[in-house]
Amino acid sequence: MNPSGQNYQMASLYVGDLHPDVTEAALFEKFSTAGPVLSIRVCRDMITRRSLGYAYVNFQQPADAERALDTMNFDVLKGRPIRIMWSQRDPSLRKSGVGNVFIKNLDKSIDNKAMYDTFSAFGNILSCRVAQDETGASKGYGFVHFETEEAANKSIDKVNGMLLNGKKVFVGKFIPRKEREKELGERAKLYTNVYIKNFPDDFSEEALRDMFEKYGSITSHRVMSREDGKSRGFGFVAFDDPESAERAVEELNGKDMDGKVPLFVGRAQKKMERQMELKRKFEQLKIERLNRYQGVNLYVKNLDDTIDDDRLRKEFTPFGTITSAKVMMEEGRSKGFGFVCFSSPEEATKAVTEMNGRILVTKPLYVALAQRKEDRKAHLASQYMQRVANMRIQQMGQQIFQPGSAGGYFVPTIPQPQRFYGPAQMPMRPQPRWTTQPQVRPAAQAQQGAFPNMPGPYRGAPRPPSAQPGPNMRNAMSARPITNQQANVAGMAQGARGPMGAAPAGVPQGAQQPPAQAAQAAQRQGQFKYTANVRNPPQPGMGPQQAGAQQAVHIQGQEPLTATMLAVANADDQKQMLGERLFPLIQRMYPDLAGKITGMLLEIDNSELLHMLEHHESLKAKVEEAVAVLQAHQAKQAIKKD
């Protein structure tokens, strides 16, 4: 057990103030001398992989972790003393402020170890740190986190006001930032110290006192001066009470001094308060500026070198009131782009519509709404990642149809769990040209057919053997397209080879089978016996290549649809190809509803669509059911309107 009495089951230590070059191996070599180490992790930036300056060391036994904490704290590693403390998994202890002490006015020579040695006499210390700048020098303040509130109070009573290395230090309870800001806001209402600036260089302290003493009793006043004795243009006046200070600010702020810049009189602020206030004002101005120019500021690029501000304003004036027009210049030459700001979003939208692409002098303009630098960077990064993803998909797709020595096809085994969809979860695709209304049925019914009320085998029951699609088409579409080309082509390649094992159309036979294997396949073909209900059996006298040839769907006036054509197409293109062949057939039956019915049928599985194209009776029955669903939907809409 550690001396604090707490049970650190993980035996985990936090190691801070690390040199950027410290690695897990260096820490293992350091801490393994204290006992068996379970794991070590140096925390790094996710992008640059640079060390963040701290690490976690997990021991197998709490006693070993305690030994390392007692014997190695503030040891020098690569020129820097490391700071070790127990790893606190629960951040509530740190954020609560219980037992946390703030020390300021520290001498620059006091480091972490010296402060630890000073305050460890009052109780167990969980954390001790002196704030440092970028160079590692002390900022003159620090923090000590005790295990108990009693130890913290004892250290405040004993050390506050003491001399440490010749400087009187302040020790008090740590106040979180939000509470400090709230306290500063309340203190801002009650102040006695006044800051004055913009007075003449020859303004003396006597003149400053004469100006302010009529508003109340002054305890001190000072005009800040240079080495040559001349005024720096600002000073301070401290009143005895807040009312006098407030009255002086109200009456003298903005007063003219010899016709020059108006006098500024306000509450004297510390540097931190002033920075916080300026930051708050800057953020507010930034938000106001963004809101003011949202939707009215246009970015114009591809400008001719001869176009200046006046010409740019003249070209955009017909579209509305222009508040500003600026061509960006560099060393007196146009940079080829500029900005035009209108008074209303409607005018800006009209200008974008009319001017984008218009030729000005010799170049076509690019006109769009201006974006913030951060938004533009995010948009460009998104586009870049999308292009990289598309390139990877294309590269993987090119690896699919590669002839192998054994006559097979190589499919990269790349795990893509997020890209697999079931029949009812097909990704969204662009609406084809024949869809004229939203889909009627829910997508969840895709596995049972498009229309749940339709009798017969379309509610999931298997079709009789005589109605089965051909082996080539059925097998080709049984492996539904996943989302990318490789899974699509892999399924097609497997099914399109047919019972003879022949390669799909367009793939050289020699690339699939060596001559010896081709002869064996031809011999096996003669031994094959087909059942009576199989469609398109090999005809007598057909060679092995002819017997394994693909079946095709023939629609008058269109290119025959083969399994290979579907194999090399993505999911959207497959639906497009099937829809283009369904549309003329449906148009012959219902010319006015052909577009709506085609869009409804395309939600069905691709193998079902192929079966409809090959069997007119199945297509007719499905179309009749779609018409019934449409009429029922229209009747419901009419009832709602009434």
Q: Which pLDDT does position 43 carry in this prediction?
A: 93
Q: How far apart are CA 173 and CA 162, in angstroms?
A: 16
Integer angstrom CA distances of residue 293 from 324, 346, 351, 581, 605: 11, 13, 15, 51, 50
SS (H, E, C) 88-144: CCCCHHHHHCCCEEEEECCCCCCCHHHHHHHHHHHCCEEEEEEEECCCCCEEEEEEE
What integer pLDDT is reported at residue 194 of this predicted model? 92
In angstroms, the CA 184 to CA 528 distance is 94
Name which of 531, 539, 472 is nearest 503 in CA terms: 472
The two three-digit tokens of residue 49, written as one number: 């992989």
The larger pLDDT score, comparing residue 93 to residue 110, is at 110
Predicted confidence (pLDDT) per residue in 290-338, tens digit: 777 778 889 999 998 889 999 999 999 999 999 899 999 988 889 999 9
Q: How far apart are CA 564 and CA 33, in angstroms?
A: 67
Whole-number pLDDT of residue 414: 42
In percent, how much of the chain has pLDDT > 90? 17
Instruction: Determine the straight-line distance between the first and last CA of the chain, rounded to whole angstroms.
Output: 81
User: Per-residue pLDDT for 58 more than 90?
Assistant: yes
Closest-CA residue to 144 (of 108, 169, 180): 169
pLDDT of residue 147: 84
Beta strands in 183-294 (DSSP E): 193-197, 218-225, 231-239, 264-267
Overall average pLDDT of the 527-539 stretch: 47
pLDDT, tens digit (0-9, with 9 covering 90-100), for 407-463: 444 444 444 444 444 444 444 444 444 444 444 444 334 344 444 444 333 333 334
- The proportion of the chain whose per-residue pLDDT surpasses 70, expressed as a percent, equals 70
Q: Is residue 149 over pLDDT 70?
A: yes
94 pLDDT band (50/70/90 cuts)? low
Residue 595 pLDDT exceeds 70: yes
Q: What is the residue-averaged pLDDT of the chain?
A: 74
- Residue 363: beta bridge partners? 360
Token match 């579209």: residue? 319
Tokens of 70: 């007692």
Q: Show the domains of the chain with their CATH numbers.
A: 12-184 (3.30.70.330), 188-268 (3.30.70.330), 294-369 (3.30.70.330), 563-639 (1.10.1900.10)
* Residue 553 exposure: Cα atoms within 13 Å on the Cβ side: 28
Q: Tell me, what's the pLDDT at 54? A: 92
8 Å CB contact between 550 and 492: no
158-178 pLDDT, tens digit per residue, is 899 888 888 899 999 888 777
The H-assigned helical ranges of 528-593 are 544-547, 563-567, 571-589
Taking the CA of residue 514 as centre, how many other CA atoms within 13 Å lie in the half-sphere pointing to its CB?
Answer: 5
- Residue 400: the pLDDT is 52
Torsion on CA atoms 429, 434, 436, 441, rounded to nearest 10: -60
Whole-number pLDDT of residue 499: 39
Q: Are 208 and 223 in contact (CB under 8 A)?
A: yes
Going 16 to 20 to 24 to 25, the CA torsion angle's sign is negative
Residue 236 has pLDDT above 50, yes or no: yes
Burial (CB count <10 Å: 0-12, 13-18, 19+), residue 639: exposed
Please give the pLDDT value at position 546: 43
pLDDT higher than threshold 60 for residue 506? no
* Predicted local confidence at residue 415, as pLDDT: 44
